[in-house]
Amino acid sequence: MTRTVAALLLLLALGACRDYDYYRPIASQKGLLPADQFALYGREQAITVAIGRELARPYNSGTGVQIRRAMEYAQKFPDVVQVEGDSLGYRLTVLFKNGWRTAVVPIADGKRGDETKIPS
């Protein structure tokens, strides 16, 4: 009887474990301001959207390559001072010249970063 209860408790505990697919909830834009509208708020916001779109591009080489390529893309902007990547959390932290620090998550809206209109 105790073995049956222990087995049921073990199955219940395994059923309560969460999955580790962090990409889907982070990349979901449901309930957020559309990326193109956010990009109209200013230069740094447009650069953030462009980096997020590049972060969402599939490279079929793993998360590390995806993060590294998005970091390289971010460094091409002269306003970006520092970029830190988190390959487990699918996000980048970007520091701009004016001191604004922001987290960049994947924006999977089917556009590339270069398609984002960045004001001068």
Question: pLDDT digits over 1-11, tens only?
Answer: 788 888 888 88
Cβ atoms of 48 and 103 closer than 8 Å: no
- Overall pTM surpassing 0.85 (yes/no): no
Q: How far apart are CA 50 and CA 73, in angstroms?
A: 9
84-93: average pLDDT:
87
Q: Is the pLDDT of residue 115 over 90?
A: yes
Token code pair at residue 47: 């650069």
User: What value does the mean pLDDT take over residues 89-101?
Assistant: 93
Domain encompassing residue 34: 20-115
Tokens, residue 54: 């590049």
User: Residue 6 falls within a domain, yes or no?
Assistant: no
| Rounded distance between C-alpha atoms, residue 59 and residue 38, angstroms | 25
**How many domains is the chain built from?**
1
> Would residue 14 count as lying in a domain?
no
pLDDT, tens digit, 9 for 90 and up, residues 28-74:
778 888 999 999 999 999 999 999 999 988 877 777 888 999 999 99
Within a domain: 73: yes
Whether residue 23 is predicted with pLDDT greater than 80 in this model: the reply is no
